[in-house]
Structures are given as C-alpha cells and as structure tokens.
Structure 1
Amino acid sequence: MSTGNSARNLRDFTRLWDVIYRGDPHAVRPFRKEVTEALGGSDPFVRRGDREVFVVTADDGSPLARAVAWYTPASDQHRGAPTGLFSHFESVNSDQPVDLLLDAVRRWLADRGAVHITGPMSPKSSEPVGVLVDGPGRPVYGMPYNPPYYPDLLAGAGLTAAQDLLQQTVRLSGDYPRLRSVAALARRRFPQLRVRGIDLANFEADVRHLVTFHNCTNRDTWGFMPMDFDEVWAVAKQFRPFYRPEYGLIAEVDGEIVGMAIAVPDANQVLHRMAGRLWPFGWWHLLTGMRGIRELRGLYIGVEPRFRLTGMDALVMSEWLDRAVSRHGITHVHLGWTPESNTRLHRQVEQEAGPENVTTKRFRVYRGEAGGGRR
C-alpha cells in the first residue's frame, strides 16, 4: 500500500486504468496529465479539506486497486454525521486488494473524525458519482463506467447501498404538448419574465451565477455538496472555446434568477477517439469534433423553491429544448444523475417523452462505517 501524490504513486494510480480497461471498446481513457494535476498540490480543494491518494500494488509493483479519500468538516452539516468520501475507485477483480484499500481509507477517514464513509463520490461536482450497475454502452461525459464486478467488490468489502442514481437518456422527438401548455401558463403568469442563454462575453459571471444558484436551491437534494467556484471554473473554462449560448438557459423575474438549465456537449464522443492523447492526432479530433456533437448532458436543471409549483420548471425545460434543438440540431439529452427516489421526476420524463424514447442507466453509491476492518 502506498499513499501520497508523489510522481511514482500517481504514475501507478493512472497506470491502473490501462490494466482494467485495456481492450474495452466503451471505456474513455482520461488524460494522464489532467488526472495527475487534479490530484497534485495545486488542487483548490486542499485549501478547505484533507485528501489522500491510495494505491495497492502487487509484489512485482503492478497496481491492483486505487482510491482517493476526502474529508472536510464543512460536509458534516449536510450529512447528519461526520462523513468521509472516497472516489476514483478502480480495482482488479479480487477481494483482497479492495479489502486492503478500503481498510486504509476507513482508518484515514476515522483519524480525521469521520464516522461514516460514502462513495464512490468526491466533494467536487465535476467528478463521476457511484459505480455503473446497469446500462450498456459508452459512458456519457462525466458519468461513471466500470467493469460489471465493481458492485460485488464494494458489497464484499462490507459497504451497503446508500442510493441508486438514474441517468435518463431522451431521444428528442415530437412537440411535447403538455410541457408547452404548462410553460405557456407560466409565461402568462409572469409577464416580467426574461429568458436568456449563457452570455459567453461574461462567461465567468454566469458560472458564478450557477454556483450561487445551485448552492442556494439544492440543499435539500440527496448527496448535496456546495459547489466551489474555483473548482467549477477550472472545468468550465475548458469548455469555453466550444460552448454555445443555447446549451444553457437562465430565467429571471424582475432581475432575480429563478431558474437555470445548464448542459454540456457529450465530449466523450470525441474523447473516446482521442484515447487519452492529444498527439499526434488527438488535437485534430478535439478541434473538429466538439462542434459536431448532437447530444447534450444536462448538468443542472433547477428552479428557485418559491417558483417550483408555478410551471417555471416546465418553462425552463421547454425554452431550453427549443433553443438547443432548433439552433444546433440536438437529438438526445442525457438527464442525470438523479436519485432513484425522485420517482415523480422520472415518471414525468417518461410520460412527456414517451417510454419508447427513454433509456435508463443505473448507478450506485455505497455507505459504510469509518475505522479499520469490514463492517
């Protein structure tokens, strides 16, 4: 077992990906430099919490399992008890390295005051959450992908299911009359409403609006963690050269933001072809491919609580789809993740889009006790 963000440990950390996914036609290889930089000393998270990198290696030095542990006391107020997180979980199909890995993670978190452990998830909103349980094919940008044995490994290490998360992929077709009818009522109810796309000339300001709005309106949702602007901005500015104003939408009433819809292109359609390399041809795929993507991943769709029973959610969704489809030919929208317990939302999506136009993937987040040994 090795810990820390030394060059050697991070090399083993990233090398494990190739051990697990070599030959997998659906896996999207990350950029090694991006991973190592994110786990280095310049990570904005280290200013507000503790983080450690764990790698289990065999006697010959080959990597077998890995994870990143996170702890910040600020998260306790949102989880009811001191809770540590683990993310970036990968492992060969063997119980022993996973037991060693998670025992070390548990002890590290317990030493910092954590009572519970939850994961895979990190305090960063840009990181994937959970492990894939059901749903074939290439992952959408920012969503988990893993071998089918991961759920059994985590359960075998003494963790139990905390929440199942769903990603609903909608094939866009039809006019969605019910959605538009409710949206029309909301527009008549709020004649002072102003709807706009993302202002690329003031992109940073709109990202700040997103962070503030999310942190104020999402506190009651499962898994809520406050967004940190520096962390969100580090990701957002990578999309700036390829972003279109219509990928996002902001609704305002009397100058107050009351609803937002934010999406990004499914960049994995391009990243998959790049195989984690910019050179010699990866940069060409990046430059030519991003603008041609016709699928969006919905990162955030939300309405200020005072407006949630007014039809504002339907108006935001209707306006957002109109702009994205009519101006950029978007054919699919990937909504998620959302907790499985939000049955009302999932039912609404199927009723509006038609069940024949909706496919679902399932992901799972696990929970256990901190401290050493199986629980």
Structure 2
Amino acid sequence: MITIVPVETKSQRAKFIDFPHDLYANDPNYVPELFLAQDDLLNPKKHPFYQHSTAQPFLAYQDGEIVGRVLAIYNTNHNAFNQVNEGQFGFFDCINDQEVANKLLETAEEWVKNKGANNIVGPINLSTNDTLGLLVEGFDRPPMVMMPYNFPYYMDLISKAGFDKKEDLRAYLVNKSTASQRSVLLLEKLEARLQRSGIILRQINLKDFKNEAEKIKVVYNKAWDKNLGFVPMTDAEFFYIAKDLKMLVDPKYCIIAQKGDEIIGFALGIPNLNEILINIKRGRLLPTGIFKLLFGKKNIKSVRVLMLGVLESYRKLGIEACLYGRIIKNALPSGIVEAECSWMLDHNYLMNHAIEQINADFYKRYRLYEKAI
C-alpha cells in the first residue's frame, strides 16, 4: 500500500532532503546537494520565496519505506507576472514504479488545484531562479553546479502520468581542447567593434558589491522578462541569492557590459563545486565535508556560466558572445579545462547562436512538462 504524507516537521523535512541519497546510492554520476542549502530552500521561515508564495512537500511511503517525494508549488508572483493561473511541481524523485509516481504527482496536482490552479508545470525546484527541468539527454557524466540530475526512467514516469512536453532547455559545453583560435580572434574583433560604440566589458568590482548587485538586479529583471515562466525577483530574493553567490564569485568569471554609467548586460560564471560535492557524503559539511570543500576549491577544473543577460535594446550586437568568450578566455589560464553554459531555451536562437560561435557543443537537454488539471 502506498501512503502520501505531507512534510510538516523538521525531522520529516530532513527525510525529504535525504531520500535521493539512498535512491541514487549506486549511481556514480549523482551529486548530493548540500543539506543546509536544501533545508533553507524548503524552510518557509528562512527563504524569501515564502513571503509571497507557498509550497508543500510530500513523501511517499510503501511498507514503511520512503519510495518517493515531490514538492507542490503555488507561485503567486509568477502567476501575476505571466497572467496565468498554474501550479508547479519540483523535487520529484521516485523509485521506478508508475503507481508511486502517479500518486505523488496526483497529490501535487490536487494541492495546486485547491489553490485555484488549472495547469501544473515542472520539474521546477521552487522557482525559475532555482534548478529546473528533467534531464532527458546527457546521462553519461555528473551535472554541473546548480543543475539537476535524475534517472532516465523519470521521463516515462512523468509522461505516463499524463504530462506533455512544454519546453526544452539546453546546456552547452566548451572544452579547452576544442575551443578554437578562431573563437579568440572573433572575441577580439567583436570587443573592438563594441568599444567603437562606447560599450566596454569589465570585471565586477567586489569592493563595491552592493552597488554592483543593485545595478545587475535591474538588468536581470529586465533581460529575462520574456523567458519561459520568468518572474522578476523581489529585492529580498535577489539579495538572498547574491549573498550566497558572493562567496563563490571570482571577478574573472563575472563580466559586466557597460555603456557610460549604465550596466547593459552581464554574465556570471562560478566554479563547478560539484567536483567536490560528489565526494561529500549525504551533503553534510560536518565533520569532514567542510575541509573537502575548502581545500578542494583550488583543484576545480570546470566552471558553469549560469547567468547571462543583455537588455533588449542592445541585443544582436555580439555582446552575448563577448560575455561568454571573456569568461572562457579568463578561465583557461587558471587551469580550467571546460565550461558549461546553461541553461538556454531551445528556441532562443540568438543566445544559442552566440554560444555556438565560440565552438560550444550542445551536450545536455532538460525538459519541462505540463498538464491541464
């Protein structure tokens, strides 16, 4: 018998977070999420998402054992901004059992329907500012930092539960051995052309981080306003994320495009901490995980470009390709051998072309699903 239980206590939340560690115990590509970060994300008393929206985690039990989990989400700001009335599901993990998957997803559907939703979309692990999408191509290697991972059988479980494809997302990989000299020459020519138009590229000034972040927030909320399911971050959400990212930011990988005093675009890359996290048991920093994290950072060989945006009036000038190229050019002398650029919408031809210009390979595909309820 399968029983679905709402997560209501701290102890239950810990079980919700820990379930994937057991599910993926024998998968060499699985990377445990940091427990403390996941706990904050799911704690209504800590994360600013819950100042405007709601979410409810559920666990599935069978014969006394946890066999699945899901988070039902009702994002009020998303619905208002996009003029829709939908719910989302996220944190979906499940044994390879269709009945368990059906009951988990039906529970999420019913929960968001009771909030007034007429459609459900996922996987979205809280909001589009967090991890999202189901991995559907590229299972042969671990995910990069802040990217999801799942078993291939999840595709069948979700499809057979009545969900259809909504949108595909792309991840590109740039490898040191295949990044051609042509890419470097192209970057130099594009940057020279931008400079003639008064547009310069520079690194972020961490000594003035608060003001820099404030200006970047304006670009972020404008540059993504037509992206799939995007909703502008509240000030509380933006600075919550910025505070965490500041600890990871290397100015070489955070490049700003500026014209006069106005920031018109930016790109942010961060070291691929998953190279370390894959060896931190169950995502716990204590007692030894903290040392692995601190001492392993200098040996990281890859970066992920996780944010890139240019104001609409400055697109088609080559700024996107320059931002990507500058991060990759800066990374190579530092011992970095590859960079992932993710995620891009499947139909975002401008951004996809920009990254393909610097010899990137389209190597992973993620999918969002939807279902009318």
Given the two structures, how large is their TM-score scaled by the length of structure 2? Answer: 0.90
Aligned partner (choices 212, 215, 218) of residue 212 of structure 1: 218
Match of 1:293 among 275, 295, 300: 300
The question of 1:265 aligning with 2:249 is answered no
Residues 66-105 of structure 1: matches in 2 within 5 Å? 66-105=69-108
> Structure 2 vs 1, CA of residues 125 and 163 (structure 1 numbering), >3 Å: closer, same or farther?
closer
Matched, 1:278 2:285: yes
CA contact (8 A) 2:163 2:371 kept: yes
Corresponding residue number in structure 1 for 2:311: 304
Does the aligned pair in 1 maintain the 2:272–2:302 contact within 8 Å? yes
- How far is 1:262 from its partner? 0.9
Q: Which moved more, 1:299-308 or 1:199-208?
A: 199-208
CA change 1:204–1:27 in 2 (3 A) is: farther
Deviations 1:17-76 (A, max 9, x none): 13311121111112334323321232211110111111111132x111111111133212
Instruction: Trace 1:1-375 onto structure 2 (pairs within 5 A).
Output: 1-42=4-45, 43-60=47-64, 62-135=65-138, 136-172=140-176, 173-175=179-181, 176=183, 177-190=185-198, 193-275=199-281, 276-326=283-333, 328-353=334-359, 358-370=361-373
Deviations 1:221-264 (A, max 9, x none): 22322223433433443343443111101121110111101111
For structure 1, list consecutive stretches of 5 or more residues without a partner in the other structure: 371-375
- Find the residue that maps to 1:66 and give its secondary structure: strand
Distance of 2:368 and 2:17 partners within structure 1: 22
Q: Give the match's secondary structure for 2:71.
A: strand
**Kindly tell me: are residues 315 and 168 of structure 1, through their superposed partners in 2, closer, same or farther at Cα, counting changes over 3 Å?**
closer
Which blocks of at least 5 consecutive residues in structure 2 are unaligned?
Answer: none
Q: Deviations over 1:284-333 (max 9, x none)?
A: 2111112332311111112111111333333333433333334x343211
Aligned to 2:214, the other structure's residue is in SS state helix
AA partner of residue 322 (structure 1): K
Instruction: Give every structure 1 segment of 4 or more consecutive aligned residues whose post-TM-superposition deviation is greater than 4 Å.
Output: none
Q: What displacement does 1:268 show?
A: 0.3
Structure 2 match to 1:373:
none
Give the root-mean-square deviation of aligned CA atoms.
2.1
How many residue pairs match? The answer is 363
Contact map agreement 1:242 1:290 (CA 8 A) in 2 = no
